[in-house]
Amino acid sequence: MTDPTPRKRSRPRAPTTALDQSVAALAQNDPDLCLRIAIPVLDDVGAGAPAIDIIGRAAVSVGAMALARLAFETAARALALQGLAAHAVAAAIAVHRLSSKSDLLTELAGVFGADAERQSNVSVLPPPLASERVTELGDESRAELIALATKKIEALKAALPAKLPARARLPLWGALPRGAFERLATAMEVRVFGPSHAAILEGERGGSVFVVARGEVRIARKAAASEAGAEEGDEPEELAVLGAEAVFGEMALLTEAPRAASVHTTRASIVLEAPPPSLALAVKEVPSLGAELRAFSQQRLVQNLLRTAPLLREIPLGDREALAGAFEAREFAEGEVLFAQGSEASGLFLVASGRLEVRRREDDGSELVIGGIDPGGCVGEISLVLRRPTNATVIAVEPTVALVLAPENFIGIVRQHPALLSSLYELAVSREEELIQVTAQAAEDADDLVMV
């Protein structure tokens, strides 16, 4: 089963900033260098808030706990004022771990959560600007660095408003009511990763859910053997580059299928991680959190697959969002049959994760494996387009999540988008010819075995 879509190539990394350099120093366990780079950034209106949190993490490393508490308490509110939810939560988590106080998390839930009293004219301070300029302090001692950071952060804390206004609704956080918001945050760990760190590896099963607080990650997958033009040793195909507030790994909330792609940091990053045991306990304690996370993950699944599926490339990107309501996300256990050979069309299946196998039963009762369908691929189009019973059985060979377009919805969509019907027809004819060739080759090989 082949896919003629040309493969995308990686794009260059974005320029690094002084904040990136300070996070990199933190990841390399060099808190003094981190302080020397981050302290001058406190004077920057846009980048000062993230720098406060970074200084707090360096302070923990050197045992300056008074500075650490001051920095995290200030950073959580300053970052919230800029609308940087994930980074604000990271700072509030640090406060909770240092003092067991959860009032900051409660305040952040009132700023970013589903219960926030939002107004139509929500505004935020400008985000950090990307600049390659790095100003590093000189020969100050560690004690002098701590004293300087304390003085600057105290001044920044005094300038913060007494009450934080609600901010724009963001993915994930904006769907969570107060109790679920706070419980998810306390289930998370704050990770500091250096450049090129592998947060997720393609092929791994299950695992954590992540939110980028600061930095950038690149999502890429290896070319499937079935892809047109794919060769061994090819550079992985880039699927996306994600920055602050991005959620990744959420497919683990829906299925135990192997990871469909790898995720690496492109620069030093601060990332929130919800490990499976902690997340499972949180969901057990707050059942509504599990329902919200599952709904969020299914919505993201539909949106991402409609945006990236090669099959839909003929449909304008803006029109694909309107298709979301026509598809249903379904899970298939390993060994489960999606449809059997000879049955009526049950829909068009777009594979989000996992793997399917196409098998054909021959007249002599033997079964022939025709090919596999990997994430991004589709199956079921032959029966739908050519309007006849299915000519093969499709089975999930590992836990799989797919978007299913029912036959009754299929007709309406192809009427609105004739180009999609054309693409499906070409794919159906191509696969029909491939099926004939594979079947004929199998028969020829069988004849060779009985020649005397």
pLDDT at 384: 83
| pTM of the predicted model as reported, rounded to 2 decimal places | 0.78
For residues 239 and 198, is the Cβ–Cβ distance under 8 A? no
Which single residue is written with the structure tokens 């995308």? 8
Distance separating alpha carbons of residues 438 and 442, to the nearest angstrom? 6
Q: Which CATH architecture has domain 317-450?
A: Sandwich (2.60)
For residues 286 and 182, is the Cβ–Cβ distance under 8 A? no
**Start-end of H helices in 17-141:** 18-27, 31-41, 48-61, 65-81, 85-99, 103-112
| pLDDT, tens digit only, all 452 positions of the chain | 444 444 444 444 555 789 999 999 999 999 999 999 999 999 987 789 999 999 999 999 999 999 999 999 999 999 999 999 999 999 999 999 999 888 999 999 999 999 888 765 444 444 555 444 667 788 899 999 999 999 999 999 999 999 999 888 888 899 999 999 999 999 999 999 999 999 999 988 878 999 999 999 999 988 655 444 545 566 888 888 999 999 999 888 877 778 888 999 999 999 999 999 999 999 999 999 998 998 888 888 777 787 777 777 777 777 777 777 788 888 899 999 999 999 887 888 989 888 999 998 887 777 888 889 988 888 888 888 888 888 889 999 988 889 898 888 888 888 887 877 777 878 777 777 776 676 555 445 444 434 33
φ, ψ of residue 293 to 5 degrees: the values are -65, -40
Domain positions in the chain are: 18-169, 191-312, 317-450
Dig out the tokens for 313 from the structure.
């490339």
Dig out the tokens for 439 from the structure.
């079947």
Reduced to 3 states (helix: H, G, I; strand: E, B; else coil), residue 62 is coil
How many Cβ atoms sit within 10 Å of the Cβ of residue 395? 18
User: What would the 3-class secondary structure string for 333-363 be?
Assistant: CCCCEEECCCCCCCCEEEEEEEEEEEEEECC
pLDDT at 72: 98
Q: Is 317-450 in the same CATH topology as 191-312?
A: yes
Distance separating alpha carbons of residues 268 and 19, to the nearest angstrom? 9
- Strand 378-379 to 348-361 pairing: antiparallel
Distance separating alpha carbons of residues 1 and 352, to the nearest angstrom? 17
Domain 191-312 has CATH 3.30.450.20: no
C-alpha dihedral (317, 323, 328, 333), degrees to nearest 10? -30
pLDDT at 300: 81
